[in-house]
Structure 1
Amino acid sequence: MKILDRYILTTFLKTLATVFVILFFIFILQAVWLFIAELAGKDLDVLLIVKFLLFYSPKMIPLVLPLSILLASIMTFGNLAENYEFAAMKSSGISLQRAMKSLMVFIIFLSIIAFFFANNIIPAAEYKFLNLRRDIVQTKPAMAIAEGQFSDVGEYNIKVNKKTGDKGEKLSGVTIHKKAANGMGNNIVIKAKKGLLVNQEESSMLQMILFDGNYYENIIPKKYEERNRVPFVKASFKKDIINIDLSKLNTVEDESSITNTNAMLNVSELTYTLDSLHKNFNKDLVSFAENIYLRSGIVNYKDHGPTAAAVTIAKPKKDSVVTDLLSVVSTAEKSRVLEIAVGNLESAKFSIEGTKQEVEVKQKNINNHWLALYEKFVIAFSCILMFFIGAPLGAIIRKGGLGLPIVFAVLIFITFHFINTFGRKLAQENGIPPFLGSWMSSFVLSPLAVLLTYRATNDIGLINMDVILSPIQKGFQKLFRIKNNNTPK
């Protein structure tokens, strides 16, 4: 490696490492804020919190790495241009492409690593992250119940005065409000002197055993004028057991819990899963279509009708289907045929409307798996794209440091992230193909990378002001020339 290549590569690596650490720390703080409800006040030790953030942090790499490459490229080449080092290179016959040669090799190598990281590390970390959240709930079920305040746990609001025991499973001063089915108020209140949380690691249910308590329920009369009397039922108990679904202890819903398992699969597993999903989806569509066809009664009429041969002699035209069908039956049966047809249509319409939502959910699941597959390649390409945007942009603006480069980097990355999010959401709803939704941001910004590289190579500024100012200057010159000609001598 030549001295120039080593110098540029070393400068870039130092800048990239510094920027990456700073941005990664910022995104980790954002993750802490996102899961603050699960981490704060749950009596979790430091090691468990570190594991929680460690398993969550790999999914931040697809955001942090491209932004770090973009900012490091702008800062590195901006410093070289600002200190006239590029001018010295060009005077020695070294072009911008030659100066970028070592970094091109490094960025391509880094993009390959990013692909394998997204294909292997991120799915494994996502799997461990979701299991850790479940294990925290199962090994420390009391983590969802804070002392001295009401905690929202599924269909209950639970308050305890004090928690004791190794895992906080022993409760004292328990007050429980059960939510109404319609979501309007709490009509059932349970108070107990003591309580105990019991669960098994294999079970998805948590048992809360209450001792020495009372049960209160407000009765809502059917007659409105009797509601002012506010009747209620009271019952005492020595022991009572309440079952709570452990899955409802996690009150924070993130994207990974909605998109099922696609974030935990690599390329080969996604390909296999997509093949199965498509087969099942097509099978369901064919089965539903055959069911609608059989329920229409056309097969029975064709097979058992006295004039079935007359119906199947020639295929009727679309506009004359009803007329031709009625012409082969007697006058007494026409009314019955029409009633059956209307009933079949209403039944088919109801069945289609009921199946539509189920089909949309399955299609959305397939789209999410396609998006997860394409994102692994988009991450690798985005590293190369951000370099070819940042390097020539830094050479053009000729500013290093953390001032103007940050402004340009943030604006470009926000644009990239917004287009990527918009494309993903649109593809999830089946508005556009998943391939286009995943690659939309890359397709939009690739011309910008080509344009900036061309302008930087040919020493053209970011904006050629002569193109804007020259017509204005010619206009003023022409205007003043006309005025001078019209001035009387």
Structure 2
Amino acid sequence: MKKLDKLIIKTFLGPFVATFFVTLFVLIMQFLWKYIDDLVGKGLDTTVIIQLIAYTSATLVTLALPLAVLLSSIMTFGNLGESFELVALKSAGISLLRFIRPLLVICTIIAIGAFLFANYVIPVANLQAKSLLWDITNAKPAFNIKAGVFYKDIPGYTIKVAQKDKDNQTIHQVIIFDHSTGGGDKIITAEKGQMVLTANKRFLYFILENGWRYEERGNRGFTVPPDMIRFGFKKYSKAFDLSAFAFNRLNMDLFASNQQMLNVRQLDQAIDSLQKVEATYGKTMRAYVSSRYTFSKWKDSAWVKNAPPLKVKEFEDIIPMDQRRNVLERAEQTVREGLSALETPAKDYEDRHGVILMHKVEWQRKFTLAAACIVMFLIGAPLGSIIRKGGLGTPLVFAVIFFVIFNVFFMIGEKMARSGVMMTWSGMWLSNIVLLPIAAFLIYKAMNDSQLFNKEFYFRIIQTVKKFLQRFKRQPTTT
């Protein structure tokens, strides 16, 4: 490795590491903003939040790498261009392609690492993150009784307190509606009380003072009304089971068959199995049609191809007048029965085919995002040498523009691939296919010292056009 290669690699690695973590942080913030309503108010432990962020960060690595490569390559070559180091290198006879060759090798290594990470790490991280997020979103909010509001989250109870003291334990004017199993509703009222939570947070005790307990005894719906019983108390203890508020983890094996939790080898096996099942639908439908509609046996025969077209008038002449109505009704009934019998298998076939497409999309994604690192570098390197602006301002603007273009075409291609409008490989590679000609154009312009983003270049063009228009106006008009 020559000193020039070491210089350019050292100049690139610093901005790459910094922009990668900044990009990853922005993507994580976007994730938290999306699911903030499901996370707040659940009483989750800090370890659960840290686990969710860690697993989610791992799933976003392959999406952050292309943007980090694009931004860091623009910054690297922009800084070199701004300090006239690129001019010095070109004057020494070193071409741009020779200059970016070591970084192209580094980006290829990054792309291979991104594929390996997507193939072996992200499936495990997806399994942990998706299952944990499912448990969090389905968990009940933390126990929190507010003054003046009916609280109904405890199964079988409705609680209302008129006032809570600052210690968050003393409550006043308590009403408890007990409609749990075991007969009629029970109502408990008290002037004040204390809320005491056990150490394991499994049970909540209401220690009430100076109140009444109302209860109906007897069966409703009969002619004899039920008995109303009232008990007065000076001190009464009521226990509530809070097991429904506990954060429980489901078995992660329930999510393991999802396509996002599989690597390339497992996806190949799943696709092969699904295609074998899909093939049975075609055999079943062909057997059903051939057994009920015998004319399908001759659909490919030469007699059908060379037979003269049968007119409706000739068909009606074959059937006697008194049997024509009966024949048409039976034909219509047969067609209707066939449609109803084939609707369910057709719907099942469509659903299974959609699952196959999703597996193929996930298979292509592992290669697409890895290749995007190289495509983004081929855009960023010549773009930075053309704009010749370092720092974070101008490179960030161009990086966001091209990343938005990449992301838009990536989502459009993925949606088309999932719906079957495009082939899975063409849909998933659509963003890279669109950006590759742009990369080739920028490389060509950079090798020829283009002034594509030079303000003075466009200023001179505008001045030339103005002079031309002024000369055109000064010319005398002939009548």
Q: Is TM more than 0.5 here?
A: yes
Q: CA deviation at 1:427?
A: 1.8
| Aligned equivalents of 2:458, 2:334: Cα separation in 1 | 69
Q: CA deviation at 1:386?
A: 0.2
Q: CA deviation at 1:475?
A: 9.3
* Identity fraction in percent: 31
Partner of 1:263: 260
Q: CA deviation at 1:267?
A: 0.9
SS of 1:100 mapped into structure 2 = helix
Q: Map 1:38-77 onto structure 2 (within 5 A).
A: 38-77=38-77
Partner of 1:187: none
SS of 1:320 mapped into structure 2 = coil
Partner of 2:17: 17
Unpaired stretches in structure 1, ≥5 consecutive residues: 163-171, 178-189, 194-211, 216-234, 251-256, 304-311
1:425 aligns to 2:422 (yes or no) = no
8 Å Cα contact 1:419-1:441 kept in structure 2: yes
**Structure-2 change in CA distance of 1:273 and 1:174 (3 Å):** farther
Equivalent residue in structure 2 for 1:369, among 359, 363, 366: 359
SS of 2:310 mapped into structure 1 = helix
Partner of 1:232: none
Partner of 1:32: 32
**Structure-2 change in CA distance of 1:77 and 1:367 (3 Å):** same
| Aligned equivalents of 1:273, 1:131: Cα separation in 2 | 21
| Aligned equivalents of 1:441, 1:348: Cα separation in 2 | 44
Aligned length: 407
Partner of 1:91: 91
Partner of 1:124: 124
**Structure-2 change in CA distance of 1:323 and 1:487 (3 Å):** closer
8 Å Cα contact 1:74-1:390 kept in structure 2: yes
**Structure-2 change in CA distance of 1:454 and 1:18 (3 Å):** same
Partner of 2:336: 346
Q: CA deviation at 1:132?
A: 3.2
Matched to 1:130, the amino acid is K
Matched to 2:410, the amino acid is N
**Structure-2 change in CA distance of 1:92 and 1:71 (3 Å):** same
1:407 aligns to 2:397 (yes or no) = yes
Matched to 1:375, the amino acid is R
8 Å Cα contact 1:69-1:387 kept in structure 2: yes
Cα root mean square deviation, aligned: 4.6
8 Å Cα contact 1:392-1:453 kept in structure 2: yes
| Aligned equivalents of 1:51, 1:87: Cα separation in 2 | 49
8 Å Cα contact 1:145-1:160 kept in structure 2: no
8 Å Cα contact 2:135-2:249 kept in structure 1: no
Bigger mean CA deviation after superposition, 48-57 or 278-287: 278-287
Matched to 1:390, the amino acid is G
Matched to 2:355, the amino acid is N
Q: CA deviation at 1:393?
A: 0.1
8 Å Cα contact 2:74-2:384 kept in structure 1: yes
Q: CA deviation at 1:486?
A: 5.0
| Aligned equivalents of 1:302, 1:26: Cα separation in 2 | 60
**Structure-2 change in CA distance of 1:86 and 1:191 (3 Å):** farther
Matched to 2:4, the amino acid is L
8 Å Cα contact 1:71-1:390 kept in structure 2: yes
TM-score normalised by L of structure 2: 0.71
Partner of 1:276: 273
Matched to 1:411, the amino acid is I
Equivalent residue in structure 1 for 2:350, among 354, 360, 375: 360
Matched to 1:298, the amino acid is Y
| Aligned equivalents of 1:152, 1:432: Cα separation in 2 | 50
Partner of 1:480: 471
| Aligned equivalents of 1:449, 1:349: Cα separation in 2 | 52
Q: Map 1:129-144 onto structure 2 (within 5 A).
A: 129-133=129-133, 143-144=140-141
Partner of 1:439: 429
Q: Deviations over 1:433-481 (max 9, x none)?
A: 1111101111111000011011101111226997998699479648736
Unpaired stretches in structure 2, ≥5 consecutive residues: 162-174, 189-212, 217-227, 230-240
Q: CA deviation at 1:403?
A: 0.8
**Structure-2 change in CA distance of 1:36 and 1:70 (3 Å):** same
| Aligned equivalents of 2:283, 2:308: Cα separation in 1 | 23
Q: Deviations over 1:191-229 (max 9, x none)?
A: 998xxxxxxxxxxxxxxxxxx9999xxxxxxxxxxxxxx
Partner of 1:298: 293
